[in-house]
Structure 1
Amino acid sequence: MIKIKIATKADTEVLALLGRQTWSESHGHYIENKNDVLKYLDENFSVSKTKEHINNPNQRFYIIYAGDAPAGYAKLIVKAPNENIDSHHSCRLERIFILKDFIPLKIGKQLLTFVEEQAKALQLDEMWLTVYIKNKRAIRFYEKNEFKNVGELNFIVSGKAYHNIVFSKKL
């Protein structure tokens, strides 16, 4: 059984672990220097950093479960302008990750739909996100789910730029 819950402060450690594991699985192989990967994970997915984010009222987290097992999560940033987006009521889907072992269940679509509904309930009218240009599976997923390429930006890890596409979708 698949279920999705809105994360609370009590979920901080689960979110930190999910974040670290899913980012490593989906992006770690793109970073040449593995010490840079570890540094990035330590800086961005520690329990203290996750606690800081979950305490921010403009950041929302959602956890998807397969049975009792956390299988992935999403992070939505409310009030997130982008120069490529005209809306003043936009949000950023900063993260949506499914653990590698659960990808065959195709639950990413369920999580995305849930987050889109949450954004609509907050009266947001456009969602944007970024995806690494070499991440073809993610690009196909977003295009299939009606996101449009609206620009680009660089994602920096240890001073090295990684070219990202900015995708947007009207809600």
Structure 2
Amino acid sequence: MEQITIEKVTSTDIIKLQEIGRNTFFEAFAEVNTEENMKDYLENSFSEEKLKAELNNKNSQFYFALVGGNVVAYLKINVGEAQNEKMDNALEIERIYVLKAFHGKKVAQALYQKAIDIAYQIQVNKVWLGVWEENSRALRFYEKNGFTPFGKHSFWLGNDEQTDLLMKKALPNINELKAS
């Protein structure tokens, strides 16, 4: 497989972000949700207005993963007030979504590593996320990367209330790493 490149998403990338967001979410969840709930979620959560607001939030960042110059996945991270659950000294991985054709090809791992690198750069001491309790593939991925469950919260997909497991990973202090 060609090399994976990670690029920060800018406001000029709004249509590409909308496309990869809708496509990856649809691939991941259309089979297990109603058409009506999927349509509602995709229209509202990936509208140009909503994505512009998220891109303009100083506490959120998006990154694309590209293979052969094509966007195949994306990452969204949040800190401070942008987090879905407010946590001190933490970075939230809100989304890592990869096109199915690129599952198992280290794309998610590259985006995950980008999030961890940023967490160290901004010197937070934990990374956390919410993952749908029935998404076994994602749960295995995060467990493999050292995340452990610490709670739950509701996620609404249209009119369907679903449960996300909250998972976290403590990061060693950057000074401790330098000393070892």
In the alignment, structure 1 residue 18 sits paired with structure 2 residue 54: no
**Aligned counterparts of 1:81 and 1:56: Cα–Cα separation in 2:** 13
- Alignment partner of 2:85: what SS? coil
Q: Partner letter of residue 97 of structure 1?
A: Y
Q: Determine the structure 2 residue equivalent to 1:77.
A: 78
Partner of 1:27: 29
Q: CA contact under 8 A between 2:148 and 2:168: conserved in structure 1?
A: yes
Report if the CA contact (8 A) 1:64-1:72 is conserved: yes
Distance in structure 2 (CA, Å) of the matches to 1:67 and 1:158: 35
**How many angstroms apart in 1 are the aligned matches of 2:20 and 2:167?**
24
SS of corresponding position for 1:105: coil
- Whether contact under 8 Å (2:149, 2:167) holds in the other structure is yes
Give the Å deviation of 1:30: 2.2
CA distance in 1, matches of 2:32, 2:160: 12
2:159 is matched by which residue type in structure 1?
G
Aligned pairs for 1:7-156 (under 5 A) are: 7-31=9-33, 33-79=34-80, 80=83, 82=85, 88-156=88-156
- Give the alignment's Cα RMSD to 1 decimal: 1.5
Conservation of the 8 A alpha-carbon contact between 2:37 and 2:159: no
- Aligned pair partner of 2:4 in 2, 5, 8: 2
Question: Which consecutive unaligned segments of at least 5 residues does structure 1 have?
Answer: none
Asked whether the equivalents of residues 81 and 88 of structure 1 are also in contact (C-alpha less than 8 Å), the reply is: no
Deviation at 1:11, TM superposition (A): 1.4
State the alpha-carbon separation in 2 of the partners of residues 159 and 123 from structure 1.
38
CA shift at 1:64, angstroms? 0.6
Given that 2:64 and 2:73 are in contact with CA atoms closer than 8 Å, whether structure 1 keeps it comes out as: yes
* Cα drift, residue 39 of structure 1: 0.8
| Contact 1:43–1:49 under 8 Å retained in 2 | yes
1:120-152 deviations in Å (ceiling 9; x for gaps): 212222111111111111100000000111111
The 8 Å contact of residues 36 and 158 in structure 2, kept in 1 or not, is answered as no
CA shift for structure 1 position 81: 7.0
Q: Which runs of 5+ in 2 are unaligned?
A: 172-180
Q: How many equivalent residue pairs?
A: 167
Give CA-to-partner distance per residue, 1:74-126, whole Å, 9 cap, x none.
0001113737xxx5111211100111111132211111011110122122221
* Structure 1 stretch displaced more, 48-57 or 156-165: 156-165
Relative distance call for 1:81 and 1:161 in structure 2 (3 A) is closer
- Give the Å deviation of 1:53: 0.7
Separation of aligned partners in 2, 1:114 and 1:54: 17
Range that drifts further, 140-149 or 124-133 = 124-133
For 2:123, what is the secondary structure of its paired residue? coil
Report if the CA contact (8 A) 2:132-2:162 is conserved: yes
Overall identity of the aligned pairs, in %: 31
SS of equivalent to 1:104: coil
Q: Contact 1:62–1:115 at 8 Å: present in 2 too?
A: no
